[in-house]
Protein backbone atom coordinates (compact mmCIF):
# COMPACT_ATOMS: atom_id res chain seq x y z
CA UNK A 1 0.00 0.00 0.00
CA UNK A 2 1.19 3.50 -0.79
CA UNK A 3 2.74 5.10 2.32
CA UNK A 4 1.01 8.40 1.59
CA UNK A 5 -2.43 6.74 1.74
CA UNK A 6 -1.78 5.59 5.34
CA UNK A 7 -1.33 9.13 6.52
CA UNK A 8 -4.14 11.15 8.06
CA UNK A 9 -5.73 13.49 5.53
CA UNK A 10 -5.65 16.92 7.16
CA UNK A 11 -6.65 20.45 6.20
CA UNK A 12 -4.49 23.40 7.18
CA UNK A 13 -4.55 27.17 6.73
CA UNK A 14 -1.14 28.79 6.43
CA UNK A 15 -1.09 32.23 8.01
CA UNK A 16 1.45 34.54 9.59
CA UNK A 17 0.06 34.77 13.14
CA UNK A 18 0.89 38.47 13.08
CA UNK A 19 -2.19 38.73 10.81
CA UNK A 20 -4.26 36.17 12.71
CA UNK A 21 -6.73 38.57 14.34
CA UNK A 22 -7.57 40.00 10.94
CA UNK A 23 -8.06 36.50 9.51
CA UNK A 24 -10.39 35.52 12.37
CA UNK A 25 -12.61 38.47 11.44
CA UNK A 26 -12.42 38.50 7.65
CA UNK A 27 -12.58 34.69 7.30
CA UNK A 28 -15.22 34.13 9.98
CA UNK A 29 -17.70 32.44 7.63
CA UNK A 30 -14.97 30.34 6.00
CA UNK A 31 -13.63 29.17 9.37
CA UNK A 32 -17.11 28.28 10.67
CA UNK A 33 -17.99 26.22 7.61
CA UNK A 34 -14.61 24.44 7.53
CA UNK A 35 -15.05 23.67 11.22
CA UNK A 36 -18.44 22.06 10.51
CA UNK A 37 -17.22 19.98 7.59
CA UNK A 38 -13.80 18.67 8.66
CA UNK A 39 -12.70 16.75 11.76
CA UNK A 40 -9.60 18.89 12.18
CA UNK A 41 -8.60 22.22 10.71
CA UNK A 42 -5.14 23.50 11.58
CA UNK A 43 -4.18 27.18 11.64
CA UNK A 44 -0.44 27.00 10.94
CA UNK A 45 1.88 29.88 11.77
CA UNK A 46 4.38 30.69 9.00
CA UNK A 47 6.01 33.59 10.86
CA UNK A 48 9.07 31.75 12.20
CA UNK A 49 9.75 30.09 8.84
CA UNK A 50 10.17 33.40 7.04
CA UNK A 51 13.63 34.68 6.03
CA UNK A 52 12.94 38.03 7.68
CA UNK A 53 10.24 37.31 10.28
CA UNK A 54 8.32 40.07 12.02
CA UNK A 55 9.85 40.09 15.50
CA UNK A 56 6.90 41.74 17.18
CA UNK A 57 4.80 39.19 19.07
CA UNK A 58 1.17 39.68 18.11
CA UNK A 59 -1.40 39.05 20.86
CA UNK A 60 -4.18 36.78 19.65
CA UNK A 61 -7.59 38.13 20.59
CA UNK A 62 -9.18 35.33 22.64
CA UNK A 63 -12.59 37.01 22.50
CA UNK A 64 -12.62 36.55 18.71
CA UNK A 65 -11.83 32.86 19.07
CA UNK A 66 -14.53 32.42 21.72
CA UNK A 67 -17.08 34.27 19.57
CA UNK A 68 -16.41 31.96 16.60
CA UNK A 69 -16.95 28.89 18.84
CA UNK A 70 -14.91 26.54 16.67
CA UNK A 71 -14.62 22.99 18.04
CA UNK A 72 -12.37 21.46 15.38
CA UNK A 73 -9.89 24.31 14.93
CA UNK A 74 -6.35 23.78 16.19
CA UNK A 75 -3.54 26.34 16.41
CA UNK A 76 -0.10 25.13 15.38
CA UNK A 77 2.50 27.74 16.30
CA UNK A 78 5.45 26.51 14.22
CA UNK A 79 8.75 27.43 15.88
CA UNK A 80 11.21 26.30 13.18
CA UNK A 81 11.74 23.99 10.18
CA UNK A 82 12.11 20.85 12.35
CA UNK A 83 8.85 21.64 14.13
CA UNK A 84 7.08 21.90 10.76
CA UNK A 85 8.62 18.65 9.51
CA UNK A 86 7.54 16.78 12.65
CA UNK A 87 4.06 18.24 12.33
CA UNK A 88 3.50 17.14 8.71
CA UNK A 89 5.40 13.82 8.62
CA UNK A 90 2.37 11.73 9.70
CA UNK A 91 -0.18 13.77 7.72
CA UNK A 92 -1.35 14.03 4.14
CA UNK A 93 -1.70 17.79 4.42
CA UNK A 94 -3.86 19.93 2.14
CA UNK A 95 -3.02 23.56 2.65
CA UNK A 96 -5.01 26.74 2.12
CA UNK A 97 -2.23 29.28 1.70
CA UNK A 98 -3.47 32.69 2.81
CA UNK A 99 -0.08 34.36 2.28
CA UNK A 100 0.67 36.38 -0.83
CA UNK A 101 3.52 35.44 -3.20
CA UNK A 102 6.68 36.45 -1.37
CA UNK A 103 10.32 35.32 -1.50
CA UNK A 104 10.39 35.88 2.24
CA UNK A 105 8.47 32.58 2.38
CA UNK A 106 10.99 30.60 0.29
CA UNK A 107 11.65 28.15 3.17
CA UNK A 108 7.93 27.47 3.36
CA UNK A 109 7.75 26.89 -0.41
CA UNK A 110 10.64 24.38 -0.22
CA UNK A 111 8.94 22.50 2.65
CA UNK A 112 5.65 22.39 0.74
CA UNK A 113 7.54 20.95 -2.24
CA UNK A 114 9.50 18.47 -0.09
CA UNK A 115 6.39 16.98 1.52
CA UNK A 116 4.31 17.11 -1.70
CA UNK A 117 1.67 19.25 -0.02
CA UNK A 118 -1.15 20.34 -2.30
CA UNK A 119 -2.00 24.00 -1.74
CA UNK A 120 -4.99 26.20 -2.57
CA UNK A 121 -5.83 29.89 -2.45
CA UNK A 122 -9.07 31.60 -1.49
CA UNK A 123 -9.06 35.16 -2.85
CA UNK A 124 -12.77 35.86 -2.84
CA UNK A 125 -12.82 39.20 -1.01
CA UNK A 126 -14.64 40.68 -4.01
CA UNK A 127 -12.95 44.05 -4.48
CA UNK A 128 -11.42 45.50 -7.63
CA UNK A 129 -7.61 45.55 -7.72
CA UNK A 130 -5.89 48.84 -8.56
CA UNK A 131 -2.36 49.72 -9.60
CA UNK A 132 -0.33 52.03 -7.37
CA UNK A 133 1.04 55.41 -8.39
CA UNK A 134 4.61 55.72 -7.09
CA UNK A 135 6.11 59.08 -6.22
CA UNK A 136 9.65 59.94 -7.35
CA UNK A 137 10.01 61.88 -4.10
CA UNK A 138 10.87 58.65 -2.27
CA UNK A 139 13.15 56.82 -4.70
CA UNK A 140 14.33 54.15 -2.24
CA UNK A 141 10.77 53.41 -1.14
CA UNK A 142 9.71 53.30 -4.78
CA UNK A 143 12.39 50.70 -5.58
CA UNK A 144 11.44 48.61 -2.54
CA UNK A 145 7.76 48.81 -3.41
CA UNK A 146 8.35 47.73 -7.02
CA UNK A 147 10.44 44.79 -5.81
CA UNK A 148 7.86 43.79 -3.20
CA UNK A 149 4.76 44.11 -5.38
CA UNK A 150 6.06 43.35 -8.89
CA UNK A 151 9.45 41.59 -9.02
CA UNK A 152 8.99 39.48 -5.89
CA UNK A 153 5.71 37.78 -7.02
CA UNK A 154 7.10 37.36 -10.56
CA UNK A 155 10.12 35.43 -9.26
CA UNK A 156 7.85 33.18 -7.15
CA UNK A 157 5.74 32.43 -10.23
CA UNK A 158 8.90 31.77 -12.28
CA UNK A 159 10.20 29.33 -9.64
CA UNK A 160 6.89 27.46 -9.78
CA UNK A 161 7.00 27.28 -13.59
CA UNK A 162 10.43 25.58 -13.60
CA UNK A 163 9.38 23.20 -10.81
CA UNK A 164 11.64 24.49 -8.03
CA UNK A 165 8.57 25.20 -5.87
CA UNK A 166 5.01 23.90 -6.11
CA UNK A 167 2.16 25.64 -7.87
CA UNK A 168 -1.20 26.42 -6.37
CA UNK A 169 -3.63 23.65 -7.36
CA UNK A 170 -6.71 25.87 -7.42
CA UNK A 171 -7.35 29.56 -6.87
CA UNK A 172 -10.92 30.24 -5.80
CA UNK A 173 -11.89 33.82 -6.71
CA UNK A 174 -15.04 35.94 -6.91
CA UNK A 175 -13.72 38.48 -9.44
CA UNK A 176 -15.66 37.61 -12.57
CA UNK A 177 -14.13 40.48 -14.59
CA UNK A 178 -10.64 39.09 -13.94
CA UNK A 179 -11.50 35.64 -15.31
CA UNK A 180 -13.46 37.17 -18.19
CA UNK A 181 -10.39 39.30 -18.98
CA UNK A 182 -8.21 36.17 -19.20
CA UNK A 183 -10.71 34.41 -21.47
CA UNK A 184 -11.02 37.46 -23.77
CA UNK A 185 -7.26 37.96 -24.09
CA UNK A 186 -5.83 35.32 -26.49
CA UNK A 187 -2.31 35.56 -25.02
CA UNK A 188 -3.44 35.28 -21.37
CA UNK A 189 -5.85 32.49 -22.27
CA UNK A 190 -3.08 30.59 -24.06
CA UNK A 191 -0.65 31.05 -21.14
CA UNK A 192 -3.25 29.89 -18.63
CA UNK A 193 -4.22 26.84 -20.69
CA UNK A 194 -0.55 25.89 -21.10
CA UNK A 195 0.13 26.12 -17.37
CA UNK A 196 2.06 29.39 -17.22
CA UNK A 197 0.04 30.76 -14.29
CA UNK A 198 0.94 30.29 -10.61
CA UNK A 199 -2.43 28.59 -10.08
CA UNK A 200 -3.17 25.51 -12.20
CA UNK A 201 -6.92 26.11 -12.15
CA UNK A 202 -9.23 29.08 -11.48
CA UNK A 203 -12.72 28.56 -10.06
CA UNK A 204 -15.31 31.31 -9.70
CA UNK A 205 -17.19 31.41 -6.37
CA UNK A 206 -19.29 33.86 -4.38
CA UNK A 207 -17.38 36.40 -2.31
CA UNK A 208 -16.99 36.18 1.46
CA UNK A 209 -19.02 39.36 1.83
CA UNK A 210 -21.96 37.84 -0.04
CA UNK A 211 -21.65 34.54 1.86
CA UNK A 212 -21.79 36.47 5.11
CA UNK A 213 -25.14 37.94 4.15
CA UNK A 214 -26.48 34.45 3.30
CA UNK A 215 -25.42 32.92 6.62
CA UNK A 216 -26.08 35.92 8.86
CA UNK A 217 -29.79 36.28 9.56
CA UNK A 218 -29.52 39.26 11.92
CA UNK A 219 -31.78 42.14 10.92
CA UNK A 220 -30.33 45.46 9.81
CA UNK A 221 -31.29 48.90 11.10
CA UNK A 222 -30.41 52.57 10.54
CA UNK A 223 -29.44 53.63 14.05
CA UNK A 224 -25.93 55.03 13.47
CA UNK A 225 -23.62 56.81 11.08
CA UNK A 226 -20.62 54.50 10.77
CA UNK A 227 -17.23 55.89 9.77
CA UNK A 228 -14.54 53.45 8.54
CA UNK A 229 -11.31 55.24 9.43
CA UNK A 230 -7.85 54.87 7.88
CA UNK A 231 -4.49 54.87 9.65
CA UNK A 232 -2.44 57.42 7.71
CA UNK A 233 0.95 56.21 8.96
CA UNK A 234 0.25 52.47 8.84
CA UNK A 235 2.97 50.59 6.95
CA UNK A 236 0.91 49.85 3.81
CA UNK A 237 0.41 53.62 3.41
CA UNK A 238 3.98 54.68 4.18
CA UNK A 239 5.34 52.01 1.78
CA UNK A 240 4.26 54.30 -1.05
CA UNK A 241 4.41 57.90 0.18
CA UNK A 242 6.49 57.92 3.37
CA UNK A 243 5.40 58.99 6.85
CA UNK A 244 2.96 61.90 7.06
CA UNK A 245 4.33 64.82 9.08
CA UNK A 246 2.68 65.78 12.39
CA UNK A 247 1.05 69.00 11.13
CA UNK A 248 -0.53 67.32 8.09
CA UNK A 249 -1.66 64.43 10.29
CA UNK A 250 -3.37 66.78 12.74
CA UNK A 251 -4.95 68.86 9.94
CA UNK A 252 -6.40 65.73 8.38
CA UNK A 253 -8.16 64.85 11.62
CA UNK A 254 -9.17 68.45 12.24
CA UNK A 255 -11.22 68.49 9.02
CA UNK A 256 -12.44 64.93 9.47
CA UNK A 257 -13.82 65.88 12.88
CA UNK A 258 -15.62 68.88 11.35
CA UNK A 259 -17.23 66.65 8.74
CA UNK A 260 -18.31 63.94 11.18
CA UNK A 261 -19.75 66.42 13.71
CA UNK A 262 -21.76 68.17 11.00
CA UNK A 263 -23.07 65.00 9.39
CA UNK A 264 -24.06 63.70 12.84
CA UNK A 265 -25.92 66.92 13.63
CA UNK A 266 -27.64 67.03 10.22
CA UNK A 267 -29.11 63.54 10.51
CA UNK A 268 -29.33 63.45 14.32
CA UNK A 269 -27.43 60.16 14.40
CA UNK A 270 -24.60 59.03 16.68
CA UNK A 271 -21.20 58.50 15.02
CA UNK A 272 -19.45 55.14 15.47
CA UNK A 273 -15.86 55.02 14.23
CA UNK A 274 -14.61 51.56 13.20
CA UNK A 275 -10.96 50.72 12.59
CA UNK A 276 -8.96 47.83 11.13
CA UNK A 277 -7.96 45.04 13.60
CA UNK A 278 -4.27 45.93 13.22
CA UNK A 279 -4.65 49.65 13.93
CA UNK A 280 -3.78 51.38 17.21
CA UNK A 281 -7.07 51.89 19.05
CA UNK A 282 -5.73 54.49 21.50
CA UNK A 283 -4.32 56.63 18.67
CA UNK A 284 -7.69 56.76 16.87
CA UNK A 285 -9.52 57.48 20.13
CA UNK A 286 -7.15 60.39 20.69
CA UNK A 287 -7.69 61.90 17.22
CA UNK A 288 -11.46 61.30 17.20
CA UNK A 289 -12.15 61.96 20.89
CA UNK A 290 -15.75 63.15 20.33
CA UNK A 291 -16.87 59.78 19.00
CA UNK A 292 -17.03 56.15 20.03
CA UNK A 293 -14.13 54.28 18.41
CA UNK A 294 -14.13 50.47 18.15
CA UNK A 295 -12.32 47.64 16.45
CA UNK A 296 -13.30 44.01 15.80
CA UNK A 297 -16.92 45.20 15.43
CA UNK A 298 -17.02 46.88 12.00
CA UNK A 299 -19.48 44.50 10.35
CA UNK A 300 -21.76 44.51 13.39
CA UNK A 301 -22.10 48.28 13.16
CA UNK A 302 -22.48 48.37 9.37
CA UNK A 303 -25.65 46.34 9.85
CA UNK A 304 -26.96 49.15 12.04
CA UNK A 305 -25.86 51.99 9.77
CA UNK A 306 -28.02 54.72 8.29
CA UNK A 307 -24.92 55.94 6.44
CA UNK A 308 -21.38 54.58 6.04
CA UNK A 309 -18.50 56.99 5.40
CA UNK A 310 -15.16 55.52 4.44
CA UNK A 311 -11.63 55.87 3.22
CA UNK A 312 -10.62 53.10 0.79
CA UNK A 313 -11.60 49.82 2.47
CA UNK A 314 -12.80 46.40 1.29
CA UNK A 315 -15.25 46.24 4.20
CA UNK A 316 -17.43 48.70 2.25
CA UNK A 317 -18.62 45.64 0.30
CA UNK A 318 -20.78 44.73 3.30
CA UNK A 319 -22.46 48.13 3.06
CA UNK A 320 -23.12 47.64 -0.67
CA UNK A 321 -24.67 44.20 -0.17
CA UNK A 322 -26.93 45.58 2.55
CA UNK A 323 -27.89 48.52 0.29
CA UNK A 324 -26.58 51.15 2.71
CA UNK A 325 -25.93 54.78 1.84
CA UNK A 326 -22.20 55.33 1.42
CA UNK A 327 -19.98 58.42 1.22
CA UNK A 328 -16.32 58.17 0.21
CA UNK A 329 -13.77 60.54 1.77
CA UNK A 330 -10.70 61.96 0.05
CA UNK A 331 -8.04 63.87 1.96
CA UNK A 332 -5.28 66.04 0.52
CA UNK A 333 -3.09 64.64 3.29
CA UNK A 334 -3.25 61.04 2.07
CA UNK A 335 -1.57 59.51 -0.97
CA UNK A 336 -2.49 59.91 -4.61
CA UNK A 337 -3.37 56.21 -4.60
CA UNK A 338 -6.11 56.81 -2.01
CA UNK A 339 -7.54 59.57 -4.19
CA UNK A 340 -7.52 57.36 -7.28
CA UNK A 341 -9.20 54.47 -5.46
CA UNK A 342 -11.91 56.65 -3.96
CA UNK A 343 -12.53 58.21 -7.36
CA UNK A 344 -12.88 54.69 -8.77
CA UNK A 345 -15.35 53.78 -6.00
CA UNK A 346 -17.41 56.86 -6.85
CA UNK A 347 -17.44 55.92 -10.53
CA UNK A 348 -18.27 52.26 -9.91
CA UNK A 349 -21.00 52.60 -7.28
CA UNK A 350 -22.13 56.21 -7.75
CA UNK A 351 -21.33 57.35 -4.20
CA UNK A 352 -20.88 60.94 -3.03
CA UNK A 353 -17.29 62.05 -2.35
CA UNK A 354 -16.27 64.38 0.50
CA UNK A 355 -12.94 66.16 0.01
CA UNK A 356 -10.94 67.23 3.07
CA UNK A 357 -8.43 70.05 2.57
CA UNK A 358 -7.20 73.31 4.13
CA UNK A 359 -10.18 75.21 2.71
CA UNK A 360 -12.70 72.62 3.88
CA UNK A 361 -16.22 73.70 4.82
CA UNK A 362 -19.16 71.37 5.35
CA UNK A 363 -21.77 71.74 2.59
CA UNK A 364 -25.11 70.97 4.19
CA UNK A 365 -27.04 71.17 0.90
CA UNK A 366 -24.95 68.33 -0.51
CA UNK A 367 -26.45 65.92 2.00
CA UNK A 368 -30.04 67.07 2.53
CA UNK A 369 -31.20 65.01 -0.42
CA UNK A 370 -28.65 62.21 -0.15
CA UNK A 371 -29.97 59.24 -2.10
CA UNK A 372 -30.11 55.90 -0.35
CA UNK A 373 -27.96 54.35 -3.05
CA UNK A 374 -27.50 53.94 -6.76
CA UNK A 375 -29.18 50.53 -7.06
CA UNK A 376 -28.24 49.95 -10.68
CA UNK A 377 -24.52 50.64 -10.12
CA UNK A 378 -24.55 48.63 -6.89
CA UNK A 379 -25.97 45.60 -8.71
CA UNK A 380 -23.50 45.83 -11.60
CA UNK A 381 -20.56 46.05 -9.20
CA UNK A 382 -21.82 43.16 -7.07
CA UNK A 383 -22.33 41.00 -10.15
CA UNK A 384 -18.83 41.71 -11.48
CA UNK A 385 -16.90 41.29 -8.24
CA UNK A 386 -18.95 39.16 -5.87
CA UNK A 387 -20.27 36.50 -8.31
CA UNK A 388 -23.79 36.13 -6.99
CA UNK A 389 -24.59 32.44 -7.36
CA UNK A 390 -27.26 30.62 -5.38
CA UNK A 391 -24.67 28.44 -3.67
CA UNK A 392 -22.47 30.14 -1.05
CA UNK A 393 -18.84 30.37 -2.13
CA UNK A 394 -17.42 28.50 0.85
CA UNK A 395 -19.89 25.63 0.33
CA UNK A 396 -18.74 25.32 -3.28
CA UNK A 397 -15.10 25.29 -2.12
CA UNK A 398 -15.76 22.61 0.52
CA UNK A 399 -17.66 20.40 -1.94
CA UNK A 400 -14.80 20.64 -4.44
CA UNK A 401 -12.14 19.83 -1.82
CA UNK A 402 -14.12 16.87 -0.50
CA UNK A 403 -14.89 15.45 -3.93
CA UNK A 404 -11.39 15.76 -5.36
CA UNK A 405 -8.97 15.78 -2.43
CA UNK A 406 -10.11 15.20 1.16
CA UNK A 407 -12.73 12.48 0.70
pLDDT greater than 90 at residue 51? yes
Predicted confidence at residue 1, as pLDDT, reads 41
- What average pLDDT does range 101-124 have in this prediction? 95
Predicted confidence at residue 187, as pLDDT, reads 94
Domains 6-214+387-404 and 220-385 belong to one CATH topology: yes
The residues spanned by each domain of the chain are: 6-214+387-404, 220-385
Q: Is 285 exposed, middle or buried (0-12, 13-18, 19+ CB in 10 A)?
A: middle
For the ranges 27-36, 126-135, 233-242, the maximum mean pLDDT occurs at 27-36
Q: What is the pTM of this model?
A: 0.84
For residue range 60-100, what is the model confidence (pLDDT) as tens digits?
A: 888 889 989 999 999 999 999 999 999 999 999 999 999 99
Neighbours of 47 (CB within 10 A): 20
For residue range 318-364, what is the model confidence (pLDDT) as tens digits?
A: 999 898 999 999 998 887 778 888 888 998 898 989 999 888 889 88
Predicted confidence at residue 98, as pLDDT, reads 94
Q: Give every CB contact of residue 114 below 8 A, 6+ residues apart in sequence.
A: none
For residue range 14-36, what is the model confidence (pLDDT) as tens digits?
A: 999 989 998 999 899 999 999 99
For residue range 246-277, what is the model confidence (pLDDT) as tens digits?
A: 999 999 999 999 999 999 999 999 999 999 98
pLDDT greater than 50 at residue 167? yes
Pairing of strands 91-97, 73-76: unpaired
pLDDT greater than 70 at residue 305? yes
Res. 212 pLDDT band, cuts 50 70 90: confident
Give the 3-state secondary structure of residue 295.
strand
pLDDT greater than 60 at residue 104? yes
Domain covering 6-214+387-404, topology: Rossmann fold (3.40.50)
Predicted confidence at residue 387, as pLDDT, reads 72
Cβ atoms 243, 141 nearer than 8 A: no
Q: Does domain 220-385 have CATH number 1.10.3470?
A: no
Res. 197 pLDDT band, cuts 50 70 90: very high
Cβ atoms 306, 325 nearer than 8 A: yes
State the Cα torsion 288-289-294-300 to the nearest 10°.
-80
Phi/psi for 398 (5° steps) reads: -60, -45
- 43-47, 169-173, 229-233: range with lowest mean pLDDT: 229-233
pLDDT greater than 50 at residue 50? yes
Res. 240 pLDDT band, cuts 50 70 90: low
pLDDT greater than 90 at residue 8? no
Cβ atoms 242, 337 nearer than 8 A: no
For residue range 361-387, what is the model confidence (pLDDT) as tens digits?
A: 898 888 876 766 677 888 888 888 877
Predicted confidence at residue 205, as pLDDT, reads 93
Amino acid sequence: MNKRSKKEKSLGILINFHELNNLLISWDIILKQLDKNFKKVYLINSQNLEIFPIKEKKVINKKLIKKLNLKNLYFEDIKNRHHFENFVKDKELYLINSNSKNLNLIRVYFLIKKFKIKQFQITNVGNEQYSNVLSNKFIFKKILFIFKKKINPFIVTLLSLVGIISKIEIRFTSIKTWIDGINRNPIKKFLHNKGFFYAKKLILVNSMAYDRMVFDKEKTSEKYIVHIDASLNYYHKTDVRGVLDKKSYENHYKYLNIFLKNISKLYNKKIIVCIHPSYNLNEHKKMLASFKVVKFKTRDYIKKAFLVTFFDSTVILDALIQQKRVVGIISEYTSQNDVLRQTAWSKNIGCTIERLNKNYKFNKKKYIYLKKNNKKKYQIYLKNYLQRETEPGINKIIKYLKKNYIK
